[in-house]
Amino acid sequence: MAFYCYHEFKYNSAPLVMTQKNIHPQIHLKRLKTNYRLVAVLWALLIILFVTWSQQNINSEAMGLARQEAISNFNKDQAFRIWASEHGGVYVLENERTPANPYLSDVPERDVITRSGRQLTLMNPAYMLRQMMDEYATLYGVKGRITSLKPLNPDNAPDSWEREALLAFEKGELERLEVTDINGKPYLRLIRPMVTTEGCLKCHHHQGYQVGDIRGGVGVSVPLGNYYIIAMQHKISLWLSSGVIWIFGLVAAYFFRKRGEEKVYERMEFEAHIWHRANFDSLTALSNRDLFHDRLDQAIANAKRNNLKLALLYIDLDRFKDVNDAQGHAKGDLLLQQVANRLNGCVRDADTVSRLGGDEFTVILSTIADKDAAAVVAAKILDQLSTPFELDGFIAYISTSIGITLYPDDGTSSGILLQNADAAMFKAKTEGHHTYRYFTSQMNRLAEQRVNMKLALHTAIEQSQFELYYQPVFTVKDGSLDGAEALIRWRSPEDGMVSPDQFIPIAEQTGLIIPIGEWVLQQAAKDLAYLDEVGAELKNLSINISSVQFRMRDFTSNFLRFLEHHPHLRSRLTLEMTESVFIDEQGDPGYHLGQLRKHGVRIAMDDFGTGYSSLSYLKRFPVDKLKIDRSFIQDLIGDPSDAALCETIISMGSHLSLKVIAEGVETEEQWNFLLDHGCDSAQGFLRGKPMPLAELEQFICNLKMNEN
Ligand code: C2E
Ligand code: CA
Ligand code: CA
């Protein structure tokens, strides 16, 4: 089925609307997704790089601070050492904590006794500083020590790292740093050279040092624990803030992706909309003519590939125009929508229902087992559409004509199949409505004839190939001449005399009825004037007016102007119209008919009895005459129901003060029946066939002579 939905529109072909850069939307969506992933990965890498770089900064900053602490401790140590060396050491009370230094036994003034008898011993700077550093280590965790390649105290012997540093100092290096573990805890170790000063020689001259010599190194170990904690705190806030920035970036990228996708979807939606408008009928949502052709081509290609049969059904609603005109377009639209729904209900999903325009629909049965399968669907459609339609309180009954054509039996191209289905539908219509017909090759000829006739009618107008015949109309009561009906004839150079039944419907379809109707009026006016002139006056002249003609907006005003120019026609003209004229309520036929009658024009309802709802129109619209259709007169004698109908029409006419005319009277029995039942006038082959003007003139003259 051809109902549109957005998801059906899958872009399986190139997009219909070429847009910016002509990128297919699906590719666009894929690109957006890939770009988003790329941005996400790059963004994550960037953040990781930034975090790594910042961590390194934090680490080196922590190390820098630790080094600074180590240096300041080193400086203090140096200051103390210089002070102590300058003074050659410090004398302190000899006690357990500060016993006499055995490594200074060579120094003669190591131990002295004060005048008050107290025992003092010399603390050399190294000794003093070791003790101070021990205090420092206990209080602040910062360890300091001196070391030398030639230590006086074996405790001051260097470890391997210190040894390497001391050797490097001798070569001119000024500082060494390392991070190490001391008792399972991290420390920053700094070592700098210790230079011999004058004061040092007091204890160390025996080792051979000169002032300025590098005598060893002073090491300071700063605990890194606190620095690590602070660094860790910085890192945590770094991670947190970077995480937030990372997520924010991701969200922003995602937002841009979504925005991009939305734009693509908007574009797809827009294109789908355009595509839908171009391919679907806005009223019924069925596929339109363009899409129908597309689908039919596809179905044919598929059937060809798989060796299948397909059927095309051409569906035309009978008398839809009447409903549309009588009930207004809103109800007409409603009817078409309901028809579309019912049609959709009659077919499978794979089949396509389309509206070609107006009240013409098609169904493509994409695969059928055999010829009969198409008839089953056609019968189902006829059945479905025969159920009355509820149109906002108005109940409409419609009938349907269906033409069926088959692939490959009747044709192999979409154009031919459509033409054949149309011809078959036309056949169904002419053979009684509400039925279906299969296409036959003979229909081709008929269809062709219709096309040719359209063309030929144009030429007929240009070359004035029309003639006007007149059929006399008699008063039934006394058999006197009442008037005549003008009937058009077409003398075609190719086909001879063509019956108006054949060409008037085509002239109506093509609008050619307007110039033709115009010609009839002008010709009738001329002919009537001629008859007046030769003394063969006609009291009444009936002219057939097509409903298409009458519905032209300025028909009434044009006609009244025409009357003004032809005063001899005044009060002698009857316009014969069929019921379809009265049905067009929007055109206000009552008003126009009233205007015409006001100017002495009489109105006859032609073919009375063949239409429907005639009585209600009779009540509402001003008419003067009823013409009983000749189909009722034909069987008047053999068919009691036709007789009853004629009787009813005649008596109804007299009740409503309308003149009743019978047409197609061919026998005396029919005439007598009309006479017995009080019919006003009659025309027919019995008393006079339609004849050219010259014959009519003769006919009238003969009548006059007989009267005399
Ligand atoms: P209609 O208005 O019903 O005209 C009566 C038709 O019955 C005429 O057919 C006439 O020749 C035919 N007829 C008259 N008496 C008899 C009879 O005793 N037996 C039989 N079998 N037929 C009889 P015609 O002239 O072929 O016209 C056919 C239809 O074409 C007309 O039906 C009318 O609807 C239309 N038509 C004719 N001339 C004009 C015209 O100038 N303008 C328009 N719009 N329609 C016209
Ligand atoms: Ca008529
Ligand atoms: Ca008729």
The pLDDT of residue 328: 85
CA distances (Å), origin 355, targets 279, 288, 387:
11, 5, 20
430 and 489, same domain (yes or no): no
Within a domain: 348: yes
- Specify the pLDDT at position 494: 86
Residue type, 501: D
* Residue 146, ligand 1, Cβ within 6 A: no
The last residue of a domain, from among 204, 224, 244: 224
**Interval 477-515: pLDDT, tens:** 999 999 999 999 999 998 899 999 989 988 987 889 999
Residues 380 and 400 sit within 8 Å (Cβ to Cβ)? no
pTM confidence score: 0.52
Let me know whether 297 and 434 are in one domain: yes
- Residues pairing with 600 in the sheet: none
Q: Which of 466, 487, 503, 685 to mutate to test the pocket of ligand 1 (most atoms within 8 A of CB)?
A: 487
Asked if 164 and 120 touch (Cβ cutoff 8 Å), the reply is no
C-alpha 663 to ligand 3 mean position (Å): 7
In b/e form, how buried is each residue of 610-637, taking b as 16+ CB within 10 angstroms?
ebeebeebbeebebbbbbbbbebbbebe
Within-domain flag for 35 = no
| Cβ atoms < 10 Å from Cβ of 579 | 22
pLDDT band at residue 21 using 50, 70 and 90 as cut-offs: very low
**506-526 residue pLDDT tens:** 898 788 999 999 999 999 999
Q: For residue 256, count other CB atoms closer than 10 A to its CB.
A: 14
Task: Assess whether the C-beta atom of 578 lies below 6 angstroms from ligand 1.
Answer: no
275 occurs within a structural domain: no
Q: What is the pLDDT of residue 17?
A: 41
Per the domain annotation, does 536 fall within a domain?
A: yes
Closest CA to 626 of 594, 610, 595, 649: 649
660 lies in some domain: yes
The mean of the pLDDT values for the chain is 89
> How big is the CA angle at 299 (ends 295 and 305), to the nearest 5 degrees?
145
* DSSP 8-class letter at 553: T
Which pLDDT belongs to residue 11? Answer: 41
Indicate which residue's Cα is closest to atom 37 of ligand 1: 487
The DSSP code for 687 is: T
Percent of the chain with pLDDT strictly greater than 70: 95
Same-domain check for residues 410 and 469:
no
Q: Is the peptide bond before 186 cis (omega within 30 degrees of 0)?
A: no
Distance 489 CA to ligand 1 centre (A): 10
Provide the β-strand partners of residue 628.
608, 662
Query: Which atom of ligand 1 is least distant from the CA of 665?
Result: 18
pLDDT of residue 9: 42
- Mean pLDDT of all residues in 680-684: 98
Q: What is the CATH number of the domain that holds 508?
A: 3.20.20.450
Residue 452: what pLDDT?
85
Q: Is the CB of 255 under 6 A from ligand 1?
A: no
Overall average pLDDT of the 524-546 stretch: 96
pLDDT tops 70 at residue 236? yes
> Is the beta carbon of 233 within 6 A of some atom in ligand 1?
no
For residue 207, what is the enclosing H or E element? none
Tokens at residue 115, please? 């005048």
Quote the CA–CA distance of 15 and 46 in Å, as a whole number.
39
List Cβ neighbours of 448 (8 Å cut-off, separation of 6 or more).
none
Identify whether residues 213 and 344 lie together within a single domain. no
Nearest CA to ligand 1 atom 19: 664
Q: What is the mean pLDDT of residues 147-169?
A: 91
Which tokens go with 270? 């827009």
Average pLDDT over residues 195-209: 81
Distance 607 CA to ligand 1 centre (A): 10
Q: Which domain holds residue 693?
A: 452-707
Does the pLDDT value for residue 612 go beyond 70? Answer: no
Least confident of 111-125, 409-423, 550-564, 574-588: 574-588
Looking at the structure, do residues 105 and 183 belong to the same domain, yes or no? yes
Whether ligand 1 lies within 6 angstroms of the CB of 546 is answered as: yes
pLDDT in tens, 562-573: 999 999 998 999
Over range 433-460, report the average pLDDT.
84
250-254, 276-280, 522-526 — which is least confidently predicted? 276-280
| CATH number of 114's domain | 3.30.450
Is the pLDDT at 10 greater than 50, yes or no?
no
Q: Is the pLDDT of residue 407 over 90?
A: yes
Residue 44 in contact with residue 246, Cβ under 8 Å?
yes
Per-residue model confidence (pLDDT) at position 585: 63
The reply to whether 417 and 491 lie within a common domain is no
Domain boundary at 439, 469, 502, which?
439
Q: Could you tell me if 310 and 184 lie in one domain?
A: no
* Residue 493, in any domain of the structure: yes
Q: Which ligand is nearest to the CA of 609?
A: 3
Each residue's pLDDT tens digit, 56-66: 999 999 999 99
Same domain flag for 426 and 465 = no
Q: Please list the residues that pair with 216 across neighbouring strands.
A: 194
- Are 530 and 675 contained in the same domain? yes
Q: Is residue 342 part of a domain?
A: yes
Determine the residue type at 665: V
Rounded to the nearest angstrom, the distance between the alpha carbon of 530 and the centre of ligand 2 is 22
Q: Please check whether residues 201 and 312 belong to one and the same domain.
A: no
Q: Are residues 434 and 543 in the same domain?
A: no
587 pLDDT above the threshold of 90: no
Question: Which domain CATH number covers 329?
Answer: 3.30.70.270
* Closest C-alpha among 141, 107, 136, 143 to residue 122: 107
3-state DSSP assignment of residue 442: helix
Mind listing the pLDDT tens digit for each residue in 109-120?
Answer: 899 999 999 999
Within its chain, how far is the Cα of 100 from the centroid?
Answer: 105
Atom of ligand 1 nearest to the CA of 487: 38
pLDDT of residue 368: 93
Q: Are 563 and 525 in contact (CB under 8 A)?
A: no
Say if residue 433 is in the same domain as residue 517: no
449: pLDDT strictly greater than 90? no
Least confident of 324-338, 467-481, 579-593: 579-593
pLDDT tens by residue, 302-340: 999 999 999 999 999 987 877 887 788 899 999 999 999
Ligand 1 pocket mutation pick from 630, 666, 683 by most atoms within 8 angstroms of CB: 630
Share of the chain above pLDDT 90, in %: 64
Residue at which a domain ends, from 207, 224, 241: 224
Q: Which of the ligands is closest to the CA of residue 683? A: 1
How many whole angstroms separate alpha carbon 80 and alpha carbon 426?
126
Examine residue 173 and state whether it is found in any structural domain, yes or no: yes
- pLDDT tens profile 68-115: 999 998 898 888 888 887 887 889 999 988 899 888 888 888 999 999
- Cα–ligand 2 centroid distance for 162 (angstroms): 135
Q: How many domains does the chain have?
A: 3
